[in-house]
Each structure stands twice: as structure tokens, then as C-alpha cells.
Amino acid sequence: MRKHVYGMRPPVAEITRVALAVADAGREPSRGPDEQAMTASDVFEVLAQPLRRRSSCSIDDTVVSLMDAGELTLPNLRFVRHLGEGATGSVSLMRIADTDVVVAVKTMNKARLTERNKQRRLLMEHAVLTSSQHPFVASLYCTLQTEREVHFVMEFCPGGTLAEHLVEHGTLRESRVKFLAIEVITALAYLHSMGCTFRDLKTENVLLTVDGHVRLTDFDLCAMQDGFVPTVRTTRTLQKTASCFLSRSHETINHRFCGEPTFRTNSFVGTEEYVAPEIIRGGHYGPAVDWWALGILLHELAYGVTPFIGYSRKETFDRIVNDEFAPPSDSSTTTDFEDLLGRLLCKDEAQRLGSDNGAEDIKSHPWFRGVHWALLQSEDGDHYRICQNNMERSRLVPSP
């Protein structure tokens, strides 16, 4: 399992000759007085507050009914099997007593969280999960607590993670990669529109539902811009047409949604093979780090390996900062796909695809030609024609 790198930027000599711009890396921007004053007990008190009722196509109505009936409690959960370990706790599959309903339960030890000073990360994950209402973002049903532990009761995704799928089945065909990319991009665009930069996109953090849809998960490394409001950019283009008799001017007005947070930080967080070069260099960075990570993710899905991996963390970081992207020489992927990767894996954050208008720039890339993005915003839930293989769609069209 890949390890996080958090708040411990390596010395310059171990990575690259590029000087680090910030000496006190690893710190988030200053917090407000309320957050600074919060104690561990305050954090767990916040987690104990009931969630507001939400309506989402990824919320299981049966689970909601059990919650309303007071039956979603720890004594009513039966252990089925262990699902995995995370940076802050373990995840188990649980069945609700006297039902066939299963849920994923993320369990975290309060004392360990306090000792490692990770209460803030716990609060961040809770804030993102309780604020999100999107079909491609994991759903939190409720939080349960004991004196020693806190439990996140969440939607169970039987398909496991993309990382597990790669281990079991190997690389994906380009058509499958495109399907997954469409949903991941849509989820990232949604998070960005909330003012949230993910900062930990990787195959381990993309879950698959039973019908092959994605769910992003693990939001403890997110950076949130409070009070962020997406904007619409308006551009005007004046076109002149002339003939031998007269000259006319026609003004074209274009409106473009922009949901990229303006918040920037210099914290050294992420997963080793996925961190963007601006994070390693030590400067301030913004949401474009998520579009870099998207490029790494697509590369790993298509080719089975991340593009800049080295034999050590030192070598990996050095290659991320200094090596230019080049597709594998024996690849059979299309030139459009390889061009998309090259533009996402641009070392210059300002020139990276998505750095200006976010997902809107990426959606207009030729690799996505013919995709009906508007259908992804449908309220109908499953709005795709699903192929027999639950990891692939033949085309994005409304269901009959």
C-alpha cells in the first residue's frame, strides 16, 4: 500500500536542486479562533451531532428507514469481514441485524487520533462527507461513538477500489478508462465547486459500486475554502463581416462556469507517486494539484504503473519535478489520450489543463469528443445504458 507524505517535505538534497520556497512547510494556512480553540472533546461532540436528512441517488432508502426507526446502532451491527486499513482507522463490512442490509464502517480510535493530532483531519473528512450530495462521492449515513472509538457508517461499494481491480484484472482498455475518467472528473468538479481541493486522488481512493459507478472516498487531506462561491465568466467576441455593399458587426457572448477554489496552501500532503511538482518544490499551490493527480490516475489505469515512480522516494520526487512526461513506447493508446495525459502532467501549474477553468477545460479536450456531459447531472440516478460488463459503457446516452 502506498504511503501518505504528510507535513514532512524532504531536504532539498534528497530530491532536487530546485530550492524550496517555504521553510516552514507542512503547516496549513492559519485557522480561525474557533477552530484553534477546539479540544479533542469538542471535536467528538461535533461528530455526535445528528446529520441533516439528505436526498441523494447514492443514499440507500432502506438504510434511511432503519435510521429513522432507531435500528442503526452499534449493538445492531454484525461483523462480516475486514475490508481494509487507512491512515486514520480500519474499515469493516457490517450487516444490520435481522436484515440483509450491509454497510461499510470506518472505525477510528479516539486516543490514537488525539495522540497523533489528527482530530482536524477527522473533522475535515466529516465536513466534506456531510456537505456532499453527489452520486460519485461516497455517502455517510451517520456517525456512532463509544467511549473509545468513533465510527463512520457509510455506503458499501461491493466493487472494491480501483487499486484492487488493477491487481486482480490488470490494466484497463482505453474505453473503460474513459468511462471512469468521466465520473472522476465530474466528482472532482463537484468538490471544487464546494471550495474543496481533494489532494489525495489515487486508485485506492476510488471505490466501485455494484454497477461500476465510482465513489470518491477518504477526504481527510482535503483543503476547504470557507465561503467559496463558484462564478460564471462572461466573454464577448466581436465578429465583423463585410461585403461590397455593407459591413456588419456581430457580438457573441459566451458564459462559462468556473468552480475552481482560489484558496492556496503550502502544506506538504498527498501520496508519494501522486503529488504534484509544485507541492514538492514547496511553493503555494491550488486545486490544479487534483488535475495533476487525475493524469497520474489515468496513466496507472491504462498502463498499470504511475509515470514517475522511482526505486525510492528520493528518486520518485526527483522524477516528478524534473522528468517530462512520455507515454510508454509500446503503448497502443490513442494520440488524443496521450495528449490529454501530457497536458494534465504539465510541470507548470499555470499551464496545466484545468488550471484556468477547471473541469470545463478538460471536458473540451478532443479525447472526450462526443460525451454528453449534461447527462451526468441528471436527477434520475442510473442515467446510462449499462453494458453486460459493469466496468464499461458502450456510449453515454439516456436509458430507454
The β-bridge partners of 85 are: 90
In the residue annotation, 200 being an active-site residue is answered as yes
Instruction: Please give the Cα distance from 188 to 400 (Å, whole number).
Output: 28
How far apart (Å, rounded) are the C-alpha atoms in residues 228 and 192? 9
* Triad 351, 357, 360: Cα angle to 5°: 115
Number of other residues whose CB lies within 10 A of the CB of residue 380: 10
Catalytic option among 24, 34, 200, 211: 200
Q: Are 287 and 192 in contact (CB under 8 A)?
A: yes
From the number of C-beta atoms within 10 Å of its C-beta (0-12, 13-18, 19+), residue 73 rates as: middle
Q: 325, 282 in Cβ contact below 8 A? A: no
- Phi, psi angles (nearest 5°) of residue 258: -130, 110
DSSP structure class, residue 51: P
Separation of alpha carbons 121 and 27, rounded Å: 13
Residue type, 282: G
Helix (H) or strand (E) holding 214: strand 214-216
- Cα angle at 157 between 153 and 158, to 5 degrees? 125
**Grid coordinates given for 399:** 436509458
Half-sphere exposure for 5 (CA within 13 Å, toward CB):
19
230, 194 contact by CB (below 8 A) = no
Residues that are catalytic: 200
